[in-house]
């Protein structure tokens, strides 16, 4: 079986790389992946998968950090111009950019294996330096302010490669494969809506994966752990404007309320039971030198080594924000923008991934290390684990010059795509057997 997987992966390697470059060139940020999602849906249908899309796989009200309606519509129109598939574009309009492909094996009943692939790019302008390979070879992003700087273009292409391998081996499959193509991973905004729609309910084994710059080609972590729970939210203070010189007492200074909050947020006591983090990434307030600012906007995130520790920091932060608003007689508005739980990969499933990698050859196991970051996939992991299944998040080496993730120069070694297709396909088949 592994020889067949290798042979098919080698046959489709160039197509998978071309697919990655196409997605890279047409980068789309969270909840605007209209072209990407429509092309994924089309390819899954061509391969014989049952395609579920849009409201079938997303609970609308659970989406976090949704762009304004006018931005969603503008990006949808752009996707039409850039070759999105008309058969599926209407289903994703308005930020409903989730896709699931379901393949039923022809050998009868068996377990359900889910694989998740994220699709979104970052709000980042890509480098045009001729030393940057996408710029030099003509596949840098053509969409202003959007760039695949974390490898999700590769993840989507890998997912379609896995889809083809498994479709061609469907006669060998007993059970069900669910390929989950998720929007809005950046900012941890998309998985919650898919989990709420039940896309991973009934999954016995769940595989996630991420390619990593800085990890040599062939390096593998069969299950990353230590993901921090996080809450992303905006706080808006609303006061009243006034002439700063003439009637300052009539103003309600939203900037002062925000500044009071920022200083005290940074003073939240750390917790003895584990990691706790808080950051204010943006403060925007005021308009004129002689006007009492009547509005201030904070972009905030909390993190914790466990869901409970994150809730400790978040609850403390809310009390500070409310007190700062009251101190300066302002009102407070809160908007949820993203979130993730803490989660660890299951050792039993990690071991099976490692065994398959060893059988395939060409992989080197990395020493286990805690992530220290947050990952939207944890919502899916937690749901599967709560239901008695196993989940793991696999790390795959794809270094090409040590480029940092989330930078304008980011790129990956595309040889990692075939390796990932082989590994994920082989693991899936092993689990289905």
* pLDDT score, position 285: 97
Q: How far apart are CA 385 and CA 380, in angstroms?
A: 9
**Arithmetic mean of pLDDT, 256-283:** 95
**Arithmetic mean of pLDDT, 48-77:** 97
Percent pLDDT > 70 in the chain is 99
Q: How far apart are CA 65 and CA 62, in angstroms?
A: 10
Point out the domain boundary residue: 322, 340, 358.
340
Q: How far apart are CA 211 and CA 416, in angstroms?
A: 8
Q: How far apart are CA 139 and CA 383, in angstroms?
A: 37
Same domain, 354 and 400: yes
The residue count for the chain:
433
């998740």: which residue's tokens?
A: 116
Same domain, 335 and 349: no
**Domain range for 121:** 2-227+343-432
Q: How far apart are CA 33 and CA 84, in angstroms?
A: 10
Q: What is the DSSP letter of 66?
A: P
Q: How far apart are CA 221 and CA 293, in angstroms?
A: 50
The total of structural domains in the chain comes to 2
What are phi and psi for residue 100, nearest 5 degrees?
-130, 130
* pLDDT score, position 343: 85
Check pLDDT > 90 for residue 428.
yes
Same domain, 191 and 249: no
Q: How far apart are CA 26 and CA 258, in angstroms?
A: 38
Q: How far apart are CA 217 and CA 219, in angstroms?
A: 6
Q: How far apart are CA 422 and CA 433, in angstroms?
A: 16
Edge-to-edge, what's the strand order for the sheet holding 50-53? 50-53, 99-104, 176-182, 112-118, 205-212, 390-397, 219-221, 364-365
**CB neighbours of 148 closer than 8 A, spacing ≥ 6?**
23, 24, 27, 121, 122, 141, 154, 410
What are phi and psi for residue 368, nearest 5 degrees?
-60, 140
Same domain, 283 and 177: no
* pLDDT score, position 173: 83
Q: How far apart are CA 36 and CA 152, in angstroms?
A: 11
Q: How far apart are CA 98 and CA 30, in angstroms?
A: 11
Check pLDDT > 70 for residue 372.
no
Point out the domain boundary residue: 340, 370, 405.
340
- CATH number of the structural domain spanning residue 209: 3.40.630.10
Point out the domain boundary residue: 340, 372, 401.
340
Q: What is the DSSP letter of 404?
A: P
**Arithmetic mean of pLDDT, 305-324:** 96
* pLDDT score, position 25: 98
Taking the CA atoms of 410, 66, 117 and 196 in sequence, report the sign of the dihedral they define.
Answer: positive
Same domain, 214 and 262: no
* pLDDT score, position 373: 78
Q: Burial, 406: exposed, middle or buried (Cβ in 10 Å; 0-12, 13-18, 19+)?
A: exposed
Same domain, 327 and 349: no
Q: Are 163 and 45 in contact (CB under 8 A)?
A: no
- CATH number of the structural domain spanning residue 313: 3.30.70.360
Same domain, 252 and 399: no
Same domain, 166 and 152: yes
Same domain, 182 and 111: yes
Same domain, 336 and 380: no
Q: How far apart are CA 82 and CA 128, in angstroms?
A: 21
Least confident piece of the model among 48-52, 143-147, 302-306, 350-354: 302-306
Check pLDDT > 80 for residue 106.
no
Q: How far apart are CA 300 and CA 189, in angstroms?
A: 14
Q: How far apart are CA 307 and CA 305, in angstroms?
A: 7
Check pLDDT > 70 for residue 371.
no
pLDDT tens sequence across 279-307: 999 999 998 999 999 999 999 999 999 99
* pLDDT score, position 360: 95
DSSP strands (E only) in 57-111:
99-104
Stated as kind and residue range, the H or E segment containing 167 is helix 152-168
- Compute the chain's Rg from CA coordinates: 23
Residue 132 — pLDDT band, cuts 50, 70, 90?
Answer: very high
DSSP strands (E only) in 203-272:
205-212, 219-221, 229-238
Helix (H, G, I), strand (E, B) or coil at 83: coil
Same domain, 18 and 68: yes
Q: How far apart are CA 361 and CA 400, in angstroms?
A: 21
DSSP strands (E only) in 63-131:
99-104, 112-118
**Arithmetic mean of pLDDT, 339-348:** 91
The pTM (predicted TM-score) of the whole model is 0.92
Q: How far apart are CA 335 and CA 319, in angstroms?
A: 15
Same domain, 280 and 329: yes
């Amino acid at each position: 079986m592994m020889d067949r997987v290798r042979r098919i992966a080698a046959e489709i390697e160039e197509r998978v790389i071309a697919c990655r470059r196409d997605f890279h060139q047409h980068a789309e940020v969270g909840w605007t992946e209209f072209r990407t999602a429509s092309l994924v849906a089309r390819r899954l249908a061509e391969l014989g998968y049952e395609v579920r899309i849009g409201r079938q796989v997303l609970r609308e009200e659970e989406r976090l950090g949704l762009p304004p309606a006018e931005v969603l519509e503008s990006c949808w129109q752009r996707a039409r111009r850039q070759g999105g598939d008309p058969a599926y574009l209407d289903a994703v309009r308005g930020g409903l950019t989730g896709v699931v492909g379901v393949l039923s094996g022809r050998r009868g009943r068996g377990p359900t294996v889910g694989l998740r692939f994220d699709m979104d790019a970052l709000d980042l302008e890509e480098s045009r330096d001729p030393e940057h390979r996408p710029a030099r070879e003509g596949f840098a992003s053509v969409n202003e302010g959007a760039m695949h700087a974390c490898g999700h273009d590769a993840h989507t292409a890998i997912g379609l490669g896995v889809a083809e391998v498994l479709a061609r081996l469907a006669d060998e499959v007993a059970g069900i494969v669910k390929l989950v193509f998720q929007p809005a991973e950046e900012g941890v905004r998309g998985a919650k809506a898919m989990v709420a729609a039940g896309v991973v309910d009934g999954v016995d084994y769940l595989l996630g994966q991420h390619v990593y710059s800085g990890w040599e080609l062939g390096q593998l972590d069969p299950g990353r752990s230590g993901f921090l729970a996080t809450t992303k939210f905006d706080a808006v203070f609303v006061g009243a404007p006034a002439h700063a010189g003439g009637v300052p007492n009539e103003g309600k200074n939203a900037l002062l309320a925000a500044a009071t909050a920022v200083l005290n947020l940074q003073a939240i006591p750390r917790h003895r039971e584990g990691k706790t983090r808080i950051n204010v990434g943006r403060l925007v307030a005021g308009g004129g030198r002689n006007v009492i600012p009547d509005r201030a906007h904070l972009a905030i995130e909390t993190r914790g080594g466990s869901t409970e520790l994150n809730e400790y920091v978040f609850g403390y932060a809310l009390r500070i924000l409310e007190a700062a608003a009251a101190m300066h007689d302002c009102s407070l508005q809160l908007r949820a923008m993203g979130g993730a739980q803490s989660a660890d990969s299951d050792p039993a499933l990690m071991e099976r991934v490692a065994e398959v990698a060893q059988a395939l050859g060409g992989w080197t196991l990395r020493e286990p290390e805690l992530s220290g970051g947050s990952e939207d996939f944890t919502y899916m992991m937690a749901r599967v684990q709560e239901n008695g299944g196993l989940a793991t998040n696999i790390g795959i080496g794809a270094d090409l010059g040590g480029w940092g993730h989330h930078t304008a120069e980011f790129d990956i070694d595309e040889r990692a795509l075939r390796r990932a297709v082989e590994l994920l396909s082989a693991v899936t088949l092993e689990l289905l057997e």
